Amino acid sequence: MHLDHLTPRARGGTDDASNLVAACASCNSTRRHMPLATWQRYAAEKLGVVFSARRVRAQARRVPVAPRRASLRERGGRDAAAEVLLHEVDVDEDA
């Protein structure tokens, strides 16, 4: 299984969870950068795969999205992020 972008990145799509769905490797590589509506017609005509683009988008919008995490810059840069990670993970400094 692959993660497929509903709106392809080549067409301005993002890596947000609401723009990602699971797809088989064959479908994902065959679709490439086709818009979803074009892929829907192509898949039906050439592959015999029938689906509703509207339902796929609706399902993707229902996926819960994790709260936005602050960027490294907002947290004070790499040093601050490293310190946070060290405190989040039980590190045995004596080892």
Query: Any idea where the domains of the chain sit in the sequence?
Result: 1-95
pTM score, whole prediction: 0.60
- pLDDT higher than threshold 90 for residue 7: yes
Mind giving me the DSSP string for 32-87? TT--HHHHHHHIIIII-----HHHHHHHHHTS--PPPPPPHHHHTHHHHHHHHHHH
Q: 21-30, 73-82, 85-94 — which one is most confidently predicted on average?
A: 21-30
What confidence tens digit (pLDDT) does each residue in 12-67 have? 998 888 888 888 888 889 999 999 999 999 999 999 989 999 998 888 888 666 55
